[in-house]
Amino acid sequence: MPDRPTSRDVARLAGVSRTTVSLVLNNVPDVHISPETRQRVLEAARQLNYYPDASARRLVSGKTRTIALVWHRGPDQTYRDAFLPGLLQGVSRAAHHYGYYVLFRPIEPDEPDDAWVELARGRHTDGLILSGPRSDDIALLDLHREGFPLVLHGQFPGADIPSVDVDNERGAMTALRHLLALGHRRIGMITNAPLAYTASHQRLTGYRRALEEAGIAFEEALVRYGNFDEESGRRAMESLLALEERPTAVFVASDMVAVGALRALREHGLRVPEDMALVGFDDIAVSRYLTPALTTVHVPAFGLGWSAAELLIRIVEGDIPNETQVRLETELVVRESCGARITDADQRG
Amino acid sequence: MPDRPTSRDVARLAGVSRTTVSLVLNNVPDVHISPETRQRVLEAARQLNYYPDASARRLVSGKTRTIALVWHRGPDQTYRDAFLPGLLQGVSRAAHHYGYYVLFRPIEPDEPDDAWVELARGRHTDGLILSGPRSDDIALLDLHREGFPLVLHGQFPGADIPSVDVDNERGAMTALRHLLALGHRRIGMITNAPLAYTASHQRLTGYRRALEEAGIAFEEALVRYGNFDEESGRRAMESLLALEERPTAVFVASDMVAVGALRALREHGLRVPEDMALVGFDDIAVSRYLTPALTTVHVPAFGLGWSAAELLIRIVEGDIPNETQVRLETELVVRESCGARITDADQRG
DNA sequence: GGTGTATACTAACACGTGTCAGTAACACGT
DNA sequence: ACGTGTTACTGACACGTGTTAGTATACACC
């Protein structure tokens, strides 16, 4: 590999100083360079195929123009993987739009929870997006207190750290309203995860509020707790089917869990939606290919990624918005598992 | 934000020179530091919560300890997104294992094809993994000729650039042998994409070779061309069903396309596998949840990612392997769409 | 003819680290 | 007493860039 050209080489070739080269190539405003000189510099840079060295630039500017997406893997691995392409795409596109690069850093369960801290402390990046379950990390709070730019994907009760999430409660209410509108009165629920997870809790709250709104009493007996995976859904549905007075519809707060629920129903010879209607949550890629295709609450993965990156970059650049808690709306995607009339527009959803 | 401590601060606190701090913290071999001094330095660094500045380190070492994954988006977007989580996970874990970071850079269709070049020329990274369709990029060949570390995901006929891919031909043969073993003699094929795509061509070759092996004449009339998406699969299957003498089984060289084929069959009231057996290729997440669950050729996304990163890092570090064309084996995943007896072991696959 | 101002550039410093060449102190063998 | 080697450290340079303060020239103004 021949030595890369530096700005010094460009300066020499153009017959100017290194400073002038920098001024020209960075288009520094309010500084006068004669058109001929400017042209000579640009030509020299082109001829030498000059690209400024990123490391040197970072060092002197103190900015890396890089943000990192920290992807904590936990018990919900496969579940969250379903969102990775969309989320990452959103983060990357927003980053690129604002002139930033994206570092992707998954943290495996066997790594210390705060393995990502060196990214911040070593100034590998200007800011971080943290996604996935975390213990109430002291390192996180420290960094936030020191003013290091952070955005969470998902919520962190307690501290007021900027975050991006979906409006889980309203999403659940949409699902419920759909079932209620179809005439269901006895509606069960299977949560996506244990209630310790904020999202889980919020979706349950949405379920309760929607019932309340419709004047239906909440029954503890109709609620089961899923745990991210298919198998937990199967078991939960089994348990609901064992009830003396079965529900006619079930809101499953996670598509992955709904897949298991669907299997349990099939194993019992029950038809969906005729014998039991089902609404999921998340709208993962699989849902539209199930038989019957699953009606579900769409989570805008791309939008979450974009919003997180955009918010983070604004913070990095000191343009701090007055509202740092972003909540995106969900959207109900009507397919076949509820028996609602499918319009042409929905067909492709 | 208070000023971050530098190695100078550590040196001052420990009462030694900056050089000594560097020697201690980097554990430089063959240099003698007294245990007490070493201890003092470590203690000072801990006390100040010192992390060396990544940019400065990069500048002086000339290494970024970063590799980039360039993700070209093209006509096969949704198809390739199915592999992103696994591939990226593989790349990231291998990178982390060798002490590298991962930069993720998608290139949108509306960007210039060689938008990634600045990553290399500006020394943002030590090496690149390029994934997705590319025009025969002159920039690519230039960089490779200059010795910049590159690894391709997928193949690039012509130049001998290190690459990682799946053995498409053998994968297709596995699929065919399975169908042949089940007694099928008249077997159609729907390709994953136009033959201009290397993978597409290779899978077709595998199909031909397996037939040949079994003493069955290849019939052009039994081949249709898919184009990444569901709809192309539907059309291709429609066309096969219009044949006077229908095949009893079809090898669809892409699960995504197979989904469409399945739909066409269902629309014609045909049962799978009784009236028509189906084998896919890729083993995307959706395949196991289809009805019937799709028998398919598993592509090891994680392994491809890991191998690509490992190969790249070896090249970056000058430890160039004598074989730079890595081909990973596929594995047939038997599910329901072929009517093969399902063993307990397969059940969960 | 002096003062002021705009133009077109440059010299020199700073960013924070890794590392090479060098030095002082001391032990050891002859 | 002298050279040799070892231990334990340090001073100074280099990496390639952005930027500030400054200089030289030309020109206008009264």
Contact B47, B13 (CB under 8 A): yes
Once rounded to an integer, what is the mean pLDDT over residues A234-243? 96
- CA distances (Å), origin A2, targets A51, A136, B87, B145: 14, 50, 33, 11
DSSP B109-157: TTS-TTTTHHHHHTTS-SEEEEES-----HHHHHHHHTT--EEEES--S
B320 touches chain A (CB under 8 A): no
Which is more confidently placed, B348 or A332?
A332
- Phi, psi dihedrals of residue B41, rounded to the nearest 5°: -65, -50
Strands (DSSP E) found in chain A: 66-72, 101-107, 127-131, 150-153, 163-166, 187-190, 223-224, 249-252, 277-282, 295-298, 325-328, 331-333
Burial A159-169 (b: 16+ CB within 10 A, else e): eebbbbbbebb
Contact at CB, A123 and B53, closer than 8 angstroms: yes
A30 CA vs C5 C1’ separation (Å): 15
Interface test with B, best of A55, A118, A348 (most B CBs within 10 A): A55
Once rounded to an integer, what is the mean pLDDT over residues A53-70? 96
Give how far B79 is from chain A: nearest CA, Å.
Answer: 11
* Percent of the residues in chain B that have a pLDDT greater than 90, as a whole number: 80
Q: Mean pLDDT over all residues of chain A?
A: 92
Contact at CB, A54 and B124, closer than 8 angstroms: yes
The answer on pLDDT for A345 being more than 50 is no
CB < 7 A from strand D, the residues are: A 3-4, 6-8, 18-19, 22-23, 25-26, 28, 50, 52-53, 56-57, 59-61; B 16-20, 23, 31-34, 36-38, 56, 59-60, 62
The helix (run of H) or strand (run of E) holding residue B165 is: strand B163-166
**Residue B178: helix, strand or coil by DSSP?**
helix
Once rounded to an integer, what is the mean pLDDT over residues B207-234? 96
- pLDDT tens per residue, range A117-128: 999 999 999 999
Q: Which residues of A touch B108 (CB under 8 A)?
A: 93
A250 CA vs D27 C1’ separation (Å): 86
Q: What is the model's pLDDT at position B347? A: 43
Which of B114-118, B186-190, B301-305 comes out lowest in average pLDDT?
B114-118
Chain D positions within 7 A of any protein Cβ atom are 7-12, 14-20
B7 CA vs C17 C1’ separation (Å): 8
Q: What is the model's pLDDT at position A74? A: 83
Q: What is the model's pLDDT at position A272? A: 86
Contact A296, A333 (CB under 8 A): yes
The answer on pLDDT for B237 being more than 50 is yes
Q: Mean pLDDT over all residues of chain B?
A: 92
- pLDDT tens per residue, range A285-311: 999 999 899 999 999 999 999 999 999
Q: What is the model's pLDDT at position A346? A: 45
Beta bridge partner(s), residue B295: B279
The answer on pLDDT for A1 being more than 80 is no
Exposed/middle/buried for residue B248 (C-beta within 10 Å: 0-12, 13-18, 19+): middle
The answer on pLDDT for B348 being more than 70 is no
DSSP A82-108: TTHHHHHHHHHHHHHHTT-EEEEEEE-
- pLDDT tens per residue, range A312-328: 999 999 988 889 999 99
Q: What is the model's pLDDT at position A136? A: 65
Once rounded to an integer, what is the mean pLDDT over residues B319-330? 93
Q: Which nucleotide is nearest to B62 (CA to C1')?
A: D15
Q: How many CB atoms lie within 10 A of CB B217?
A: 6
Kind of pairing between the strands at B150-153 and A331-333: unpaired
> With the C-alpha atoms ordered B319, B321, B325, B326, is the resulting torsion angle positive or negative?
negative
Once rounded to an integer, what is the mean pLDDT over residues A21-32? 88
What residue in B sits closest to A286 (Cα-Cα)?
B286
Residue nearest to nucleotide D9 (CA to C1'): B20
- Phi, psi dihedrals of residue B207, rounded to the nearest 5°: -60, -50
Once rounded to an integer, what is the mean pLDDT over residues B323-335? 95
What residue in A sits closest to B77 (Cα-Cα)?
A85
From B64, B88, B124, residue closest to A104, measured CB to CB: B88
Residue nearest to nucleotide C7 (CA to C1'): A32
* Percent of the residues in chain B that have a pLDDT greater than 70, as a whole number: 96
- The token pair that represents A172 in the structure block: 């659940």
The answer on pLDDT for A257 being more than 70 is yes
Q: Which nucleotide is nearest to A8 (CA to C1')?
A: D16
Read off the DSSP letter of residue B4: P
Q: How many CB atoms lie within 10 A of CB B333?
A: 18
Q: What is the model's pLDDT at position B132? A: 81
Which of A111-115, A149-153, A168-172, B240-244 comes out lowest in average pLDDT?
A111-115
Contact B112, B139 (CB under 8 A): no
> With the C-alpha atoms ordered B181, B183, B185, B187, is the resulting torsion angle positive or negative?
negative
Q: What is the model's pLDDT at position A35? A: 86
What's the rounded Cα separation, in Å, for the pair A228 and A205? 18
Q: What is the model's pLDDT at position B99? A: 96
CB pairs under 8 A between A and B: 120
Interface test with A, best of B96, B103, B289 (most A CBs within 10 A): B289
How far apart are the two ends of chain B, measured CA to CA in Å?
52
CA angle A26, A32, A36 (to 5 degrees): 85
What's the rounded Cα separation, in Å, for the pair B280 and B259? 9
What's the rounded Cα separation, in Å, for the pair A176 and A202? 14
What's the rounded Cα separation, in Å, for the pair B241 and B261? 10
* Closest among A223, A289, A315, A296 to A258, alpha carbons compared: A296
The answer on pLDDT for B2 being more than 70 is no
Q: Which amino acid is at A83?
A: F
Which of A172-176, B75-79, B172-176, B327-331 comes out lowest in average pLDDT?
B75-79
Which domains are delineated in chain B?
7-52 (1.10.260.40), 66-166+301-328 (3.40.50.2300), 168-299+332-347 (3.40.50.2300)
Segment of A68-82, B25-39, B299-313 carrying the highest mean pLDDT = B299-313
What's the rounded Cα separation, in Å, for the pair A33 and A28? 10
What residue in B sits closest to A56 (Cα-Cα)?
B59
Q: What is the model's pLDDT at position B245? A: 93
Banded model confidence at residue B344, pLDDT cuts 50, 70, 90: very low
- Asked whether strand C has any atom less than 7 Å from the CB of B61, the reply is yes
Exposed/middle/buried for residue B263 (C-beta within 10 Å: 0-12, 13-18, 19+): middle
Q: How many CB atoms lie within 10 A of CB A347?
A: 10
The answer on pLDDT for A264 being more than 70 is yes
> Residues 117-156 of A near strand C (Cβ < 7 Å)?
none
Segment of B20-24, B41-45, B248-252, B269-273 carrying the highest mean pLDDT = B248-252
B52 touches chain A (CB under 8 A): yes
CA angle B167, B187, B180 (to 5 degrees): 70
Residue nearest to nucleotide D20 (CA to C1'): A19
Q: What is the model's pLDDT at position A22? A: 93
Give how far A118 is from chain B: nearest CA, Å.
Answer: 7
What's the rounded Cα separation, in Å, for the pair B306 and B129? 11
The answer on pLDDT for A197 being more than 60 is yes
Contact at CB, A54 and B64, closer than 8 angstroms: yes
Give how far B85 is from chain A: nearest CA, Å.
Answer: 6
Banded model confidence at residue B294, pLDDT cuts 50, 70, 90: very high
- pLDDT tens per residue, range B156-204: 877 789 999 999 999 999 999 999 999 999 999 999 999 988 999 999 9
Beta bridge partner(s), residue B24: none
- The token pair that represents B217 in the structure block: 């004449």
A329 touches chain B (CB under 8 A): no
- The token pair that represents A296 in the structure block: 């579900």
Contact at CB, B289 and A286, closer than 8 angstroms: yes
What's the rounded Cα separation, in Å, for the pair A232 and B277? 32
Once rounded to an integer, what is the mean pLDDT over residues B208-229? 96
- Asked whether strand C has any atom less than 7 Å from the CB of B26, the reply is yes
- Asked whether strand C has any atom less than 7 Å from the CB of B53, the reply is yes
From B59, B69, B96, residue closest to A56, measured CB to CB: B59
Contact at CB, A285 and B285, closer than 8 angstroms: yes
What's the rounded Cα separation, in Å, for the pair A81 and A104? 14
Contact at CB, B55 and A55, closer than 8 angstroms: yes
DSSP A288-328: GGSSSPPEEEEP-HHHHHHHHHHHHHHHHTT---S--EEEE
The answer on pLDDT for B345 being more than 70 is no
Residue nearest to nucleotide D16 (CA to C1'): A56
Banded model confidence at residue A180, pLDDT cuts 50, 70, 90: very high
Banded model confidence at residue B135, pLDDT cuts 50, 70, 90: low
Contact B249, B279 (CB under 8 A): yes
What's the rounded Cα separation, in Å, for the pair A265 and A238? 8
Contact B190, B237 (CB under 8 A): yes
Read off the DSSP letter of residue B294: P
Residue nearest to nucleotide C12 (CA to C1'): A19
Task: Collect all residues with Cβ–Cβ distance below 8 Å to B253 and sequence separation of at least 6.
Answer: B172, B189, B190, B191, B192, B200, B203, B204, B207, B226, B280, B281
Q: What is the model's pLDDT at position B349? A: 37
**Residue A70: helix, strand or coil by DSSP?**
strand
The answer on pLDDT for A103 being more than 90 is yes
Contact at CB, A148 and B1, closer than 8 angstroms: yes
